[in-house]
Structure 1
Amino acid sequence: MATIYIGIGSNIQRDEHINAGCRSLAAAFSALRCSAVYESSAVGFDGDPFYNLVAEAQTAQSVAQVCQTLRAIEFRHGRPADARKFSSRTLDLDLLAYDALCLRDPLVLPREEVLTNAFVLRPFAELSPAYRHPVAGLTLAELWHRFDAAQQPLRQVDFPWSQERVYV
């Protein structure tokens, strides 16, 4: 079994889509754990603020299978197949890391946004502070401590998790 980390975001009906996305992830993978939810400004385009969090799960799926599963969940929750990269999202799911695997092709793992975006690094560091970034060589707690968070403000959200809370 591999440990995977998934970035989750939404800026359209955020509460509804984050809860639905987490339920779908819990059904697809085992032992889903979630960070707190953070609000951040849209990056790369003018749009409504996003809610973001990171989830950890266990899987026997390959990297390619995990990516297919994430894409299928996004589509089930209203993401258009032709969605532009920088645009509003009902649900955005990104594989951030797969164990300590380093890949460059067909996708980059760990995902580069872990090192550059507060809305990824902060919830990831909260969820798994001892995880050692296989490229940077530092733990996520160390990376977050060194990060210039003033440049990318975040606000922790008192998120209305669904009653089941099967994924927390």
Structure 2
Amino acid sequence: MAQIFLSLGSNIDRERHIRAGLTALAARFGELQISRVFESEAVGFEGDNFYNLVVGIHTDLPVGQLALRLREIEDANGRLRSGPKFSARTLDIDILTYDDLSGTVDGVKLPRAEIEKNAFVLQPLAELAPEVVHPLTDKTFARMWAEYDKSKQKLWPVEFIWP
């Protein structure tokens, strides 16, 4: 089975949608590895703060089918796709890595570029999987976080208990 890391984010009724996303992921994929939940300001638009975390799952689904299942979970939680790319979200679930695949697979670019760009992705990923190596940089996620310019984005852990 493939090891996959997903990012989850919400800035609309954050706690409810993150819980619903985790519940749906656990129902579909079984045991989840879950990072701490972080709060951060919206990036790329003016909006309410986000809750973000990283989740590890294992699955035999190919990348394209996994992406469809994740989209179904987003849609079931009221995700609207008609607005601008950078806008408020009930629930956003992105595939960060799928084993050590790189390139575009079934229309999904792997690994996701946000790993290197956004603290709200990299910090929880580095905490959850510190020794896992990024397939393109050949650095561990812990090393990438240690080298990240933390002045670029502010985030802070929040108390979040699930289930």
- Shorter-chain-normalised TM-score: which range? over 0.9
CA shift, 1:83, in A, is 3.8
C-alpha contact (below 8 Å) 2:126/2:142 kept by paired residues: yes
Aligned twin of 1:149: 150
AA of the residue aligned to 2:75 = F
Aligned twin of 1:119: 120
Alpha-carbon separation, structure 2, partners of 1:115 and 1:30: 28
CA shift, 1:103, in A, is 1.7
Q: Does 2:13 correspond to 1:20?
A: no
Alpha-carbon separation, structure 2, partners of 1:99 and 1:38: 24
CA shift, 1:30, in A, is 2.6
After TM superposition, the runs of 4+ consecutive aligned structure 1 residues lying more than 4 A away are none
Alpha-carbon separation, structure 1, partners of 2:141 and 2:61: 24
Alpha-carbon separation, structure 1, partners of 2:91 and 2:148: 26
Aligned twin of 2:52: 52
Aligned twin of 1:90: 90
AA of the residue aligned to 1:15 = E
In structure 1, the residue corresponding to 2:143 is in which secondary structure?
A: helix
Q: List runs of 5+ in structure 1 lacking aligned partners.
A: none
In structure 1, the residue corresponding to 2:108 is in which secondary structure?
A: coil
Alpha-carbon separation, structure 2, partners of 1:156 and 1:7: 15
CA shift, 1:66, in A, is 0.6
CA shift, 1:91, in A, is 0.4
In structure 1, the residue corresponding to 2:124 is in which secondary structure?
A: helix
Alpha-carbon separation, structure 2, partners of 1:118 and 1:156: 12
Cα RMSD, aligned residues only: 1.0
Q: List runs of 5+ in structure 2 lacking aligned partners.
A: none
- TM-score, structure 1 normalization: 0.93
- TM-score, structure 2 normalization: 0.96
Range that drifts further, 68-77 or 26-35: 26-35
Alpha-carbon separation, structure 2, partners of 1:144 and 1:46: 26
C-alpha contact (below 8 Å) 2:64/2:108 kept by paired residues: no
CA shift, 1:151, in A, is 1.5
In structure 2, the residue corresponding to 1:8 is in which secondary structure?
A: strand
AA of the residue aligned to 2:85 = K
In structure 2, the residue corresponding to 1:27 is in which secondary structure?
A: helix
CA shift, 1:117, in A, is 0.4
CA shift, 1:104, in A, is 2.7
AA of the residue aligned to 1:111 = R
In structure 2, the residue corresponding to 1:126 is in which secondary structure?
A: helix
Alpha-carbon separation, structure 2, partners of 1:116 and 1:147: 9
Alpha-carbon separation, structure 2, partners of 1:36 and 1:71: 23
In structure 1, the residue corresponding to 2:12 is in which secondary structure?
A: coil
Aligned length: 162
Alpha-carbon separation, structure 2, partners of 1:82 and 1:71: 14
How big is each residue's C-alpha offset from its partner over 1:94-140, in whole Å with a ceiling of 9 and x where there is no partner?
00000011123522100000011000000000000011001000000
CA shift, 1:31, in A, is 2.0
